[in-house]
């Protein structure tokens, strides 16, 4: 990996979709970026084959990327001999960075920590609503249209001293645990890379996944999509969930066996709040759209609208660190790829 050292007036080249660049970067962001670097063209490259790429890539010290960036592979790197760093103003880098980037020794960073904030906020709201049985109560209220002693109809209603299970101490998982601290809730955490002491420092009890599923009132998934996490929550594990438990997925549909999940949900035994599914958009005839114990949202937990500007903040923070010769705060090494999203 290249050493971090001061780079006077490095040149930054953008690579993303124009719509994302317009959403990400406010005038204040451009002012910060251009105070630290040369930006020969604010219009991002959308492919590395377009004519502007032949002019811009040889000048690039930093490639500033975001959603929709084309793949950065060995062929692209040959055309960018000065390139020293890739700063991704979004979450995962796995979709667009080739192994050649690390073999070349490039410094890599991403804004996953910034993207984690709205996901964690969404998850916090989902957990609090789940324990108040909002999904079922709003449907029931619409049916009865009268006052009822709801705690009698829904035993255990409420958040006080409930158990929340967090699967994965990712950026999002850790942020969710942090946001849960002010509430009278206990947190169970399952993560194969964490020690009990490290989990306790976060404010959680480290347990095996099966134990977490048996005990938790609400289970929230924050594990990365890796070969070994494919259908991590399978039929057997779904059956471990307590009657009335809620399963929340703001990570990837990849993590759940959706055929088995549909069977559990249609039985009415458990509830689910699903921001990601497999496939990403369920078929139009999926019964989950109309199930009273299911809340489906269209992958909106992550950064959207104004929230994307938090990722731009982080990306420019990292560029300013690079210019000062400081290491990236959120640097990504090649061996990190086996355990991150």
Residues annotated as part of the active site = 252, 278, 299
Query: Is the N-terminal amide bond of 110 cis, ω within 30° of 0?
Result: no
- CB-based contact 193:222 (threshold 8 Å): no
Q: How far is the C-alpha of 135 from the C-alpha of 138, rounded, in Å?
A: 6
Report whether 183 contacts 159 (CB < 8 A). Answer: yes
Alpha-carbon Rg of the chain, whole angstroms?
A: 22
Task: Report the alpha-carbon angle 238-242-245, nearest 5.
Answer: 85
* Residues 109, 316: Cα–Cα separation, whole Å: 11
- Please report the beta strands in 130-245, taking only residues with DSSP state E, as ranges in sequence order: 162-167, 185-190, 205-206, 218-221
Residues across the chain: 341
Element (H, E) at 265: helix 258-266
Q: How many CB atoms lie within 10 A of CB 47?
A: 11
Give me 63's structure tokens: 């490639």
Q: How many CA atoms lie within 13 A of 77 on its CB side?
A: 17
Helix (H) or strand (E) holding 177: helix 171-180
- C-alpha 162/C-alpha 154 separation (Å) is 15
Report the distance separating Cα 46 and Cα 44, nearest Å.
6
Question: What whole-number distance in Å separates Cα of residue 276 and Cα of residue 249?
Answer: 6
Transcribe 81-102 into DSSP letters: TT--EEEESSS--TTTB-HHHH
**Quick one: CA torsion of 95, 5, 25, 56, rounded to 10 degrees?**
-70
């Amino acid at each position: 990996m290249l050493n971090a050292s001061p780079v006077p007036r490095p040149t930054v080249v953008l690579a993303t979709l124009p719509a994302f660049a317009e959403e990400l970067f406010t005038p204040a962001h451009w002012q910060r970026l251009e105070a630290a670097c040369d930006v020969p063209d604010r219009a991002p490259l959308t492919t590395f084959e377009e004519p502007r790429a032949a002019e811009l890539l040889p000048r690039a010290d930093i490639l500033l990327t975001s959603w929709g960036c084309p793949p950065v592979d060995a062929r692209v790197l040959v055309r960018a001999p000065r390139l020293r760093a890739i700063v991704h103003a979004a979450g995962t880098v796995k979709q667009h960075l080739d192994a050649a980037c690390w073999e070349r020794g490039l410094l890599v960073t991403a804004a996953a920590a910034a993207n984690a904030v709205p996901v964690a906020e969404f998850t916090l709201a989902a957990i609090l609503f789940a324990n108040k049985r909002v999904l079922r109560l709003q449907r029931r209220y619409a049916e009865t249209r009268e006052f009822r002693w709801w705690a009698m109809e829904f035993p255990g209603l409420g958040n006080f001293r409930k158990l929340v299970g967090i699967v994965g101490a990712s950026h999002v998982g850790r942020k969710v645990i942090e946001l849960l601290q002010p509430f009278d809730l206990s947190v169970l955490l399952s993560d194969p890379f964490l020690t009990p002491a490290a989990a306790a420092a976060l404010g959680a009890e480290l347990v095996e996944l099966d134990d977490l599923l048996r005990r938790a009132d609400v289970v929230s998934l924050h594990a990365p999509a890796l070969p070994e996490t494919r259908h991590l929550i399978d039929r057997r594990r779904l059956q471990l969930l307590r009657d009335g438990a809620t399963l929340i997925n703001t990570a990837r549909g990849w993590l759940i066996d959706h055929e088995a999940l549909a069977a559990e949900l249609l039985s009415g035994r458990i509830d689910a709040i699903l921001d990601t599914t497999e496939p990403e958009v369920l078929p139009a005839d999926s019964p989950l759209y109309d199930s009273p114990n299911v809340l489906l949202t269209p992958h909106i937990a992550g950064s959207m609208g104004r929230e994307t500007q938090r990722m731009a903040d982080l990306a420019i923070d990292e560029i300013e660190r690079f210019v000062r010769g400081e290491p990236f705060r959120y640097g990504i090494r090649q061996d990190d790829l086996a355990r991150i999203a």
